[in-house]
Amino acid sequence: MTQYIDIAVNLLSERLKHDIDAIINDAAKHHVSPLIVIGSDIDESKQASLLCEQFPQQLYCTAGVHPHQASSWNEQSSNTVKQLASQHNVVAIGECGLDYNRDFSPRPAQRQAFAAQLELACELNMPVLMHCRDAHQDFIAIVNEYRSELPKALLHCFTGTKNELESCLAADLYIGITGWICDERRGQELAQLVPLIPNNRIMAETDSPYLLPRSMRPKPKSSKNLPQYLPYIVNTMAQLRQQSETELAQYCFQNSCDFFGLTINQVMVDK
């Protein structure tokens, strides 16, 4: 049986948090389990850990501060993330990184918060889930400062150029691919790059509720992207890579288990 892990679900977003039970159950019916819940600020990271306690082995989460909220990062943030990281259901530091596309936080604050969280991941010997948008030069420079001490590092929702992909792979990063590749308007370059990602570095994600695959037919009635659509994204990835969907799904699944430190028994779903 083909299994999937959705490595990035914004389950506590306003568009999803009122339907959590249904989202988890519908995903499991499509063999997408567990889900990795994203913590994008301190409060959400706390909520994510508490939510995971209600759904053991179905939900795991990250703890960190997204670049949009980087201005909120302070010394207490580091202590809180460290405390959260001691919980068994917190499996990575993040989502952290840089976003120069929207600049919701000043760029110096983004760089400071990003570096602080990478330092924390090094200290705790934990994997880190990262974000980068229109900020590659600064992003990879900061990553490379800490890379030798980081156990594992993932750039989720990759949408960059070939040169950017090459520098990320040179830094031995895992690469998360979303339904962006299913968008004929803006995903064409990424679709061409997907075959260049090694089998042992590729992962699949929805980034739900964002990035609903535009090429899905029949088109979902809701504009919300959901974890249950992950197999469609993997199928599209497999076609682009001229690889069987089953083989690619197995690589994505195993890479996700290895990255987040999940055992096969932990992530088995019912047939």
What the block records as the tokens of 180 is 């962006």
Beta bridge partners of 203: 176
Amino acid 270: pLDDT: 38
Cα Rg of the chain, angstroms: 17
CATH for 113: 3.20.20.140
What the block records as the tokens of 259 is 């990255």
Neighbours of 160 (CB within 10 A): 21
Amino acid 271: pLDDT: 31
Amino acid 264: pLDDT: 59
Phi then psi for residue 35, to 5 deg, are: -110, 140
Beta bridge partners of 6: 35
Could you give the count of Cα atoms lying within 13 Å of 65 in the half-sphere of its Cβ? 31
Beta bridge partners of 176: 203
Residue 3: partners with Cβ closer than 8 Å, 6 or more residues away: 31, 33, 249, 253, 267, 268, 269
Rounded distance, CA 93 to CA 153, Å?
10
Rounded distance, CA 4 to CA 216, Å?
18
Could you give the count of Cα atoms lying within 13 Å of 238 in the half-sphere of its Cβ? 16
Q: Which amino acid is at 144?
A: N
Rounded distance, CA 178 to CA 247, Å?
18
Mean per-residue pLDDT pooled into runs of 10, the chain (271 residues): 96 96 98 97 98 97 98 95 97 98 96 98 98 98 98 97 98 98 92 98 98 93 95 98 97 98 59 31
- Domain region containing 154: 4-267
For the chain, the domain total comes to 1
Q: At what angle do helices 75-85 and 107-124 cross, to 10 degrees?
A: 40
Give the pTM: 0.96
Burial class (CB in 10 A: 0-12, 13-18, 19+), 66: buried
DSSP one-letter code for 194: G
